[in-house]
Amino acid sequence: MIITAALNVIYGLLSVLLVFNLPQLPESILTLATTATGYMVSGLGILHTFIGNTAMGVIALCFQLVIAFNVAYFLYSFVVWVLKKVPFLGIE
């Protein structure tokens, strides 16, 4: 479900940003995304059985923090890269 939603968001963004129409996603990709999502949900169910609700909440929070920090680092790196391209700023 998450992978399908992410693919739909990417597809929607590309279809808005591009001036030509994108073709529909092939059925094999949708089937693969559904299968992968099913495997992840099953794995989370097994993990939830062994460690409980509280630990699952902590794990979810840690994943969100890791993703947020990685996004922040990427944005910082991109801004610094752009600033380094401006010659009169003298940033090295």
Do residues 84 and 92 lie in contact, with contact meaning Cβ atoms separated by under 8 Å? Answer: yes
Task: Say what the pLDDT of residue 81 is.
Answer: 86
- Counting runs of H as helices and runs of E as strands, what totals does the chain give? 2, 0
pLDDT at 14 over 80: no
pLDDT at 70 over 90: yes
- Per the model's pLDDT, the better-predicted residue between 14 and 48 turns out to be 48
Q: Which amino acid is at 38?
A: G
Tokens standing for residue 63: 């994943």
Task: Say what the pLDDT of residue 36 is.
Answer: 93
pLDDT at 17 over 80: no
Distances, alpha carbon 21 to alpha carbons 11, 12, 15, 24, 34, in Å = 10, 11, 6, 9, 24
Task: Say what the pLDDT of residue 3 is.
Answer: 73
Do residues 7 and 25 lie in contact, with contact meaning Cβ atoms separated by under 8 Å? Answer: yes
Give the position of tokens 């994108």: 22
Rounded to two decimals, what is the model's pTM?
A: 0.53
Task: Say what the pLDDT of residue 25 is.
Answer: 80
pLDDT at 73 over 90: yes
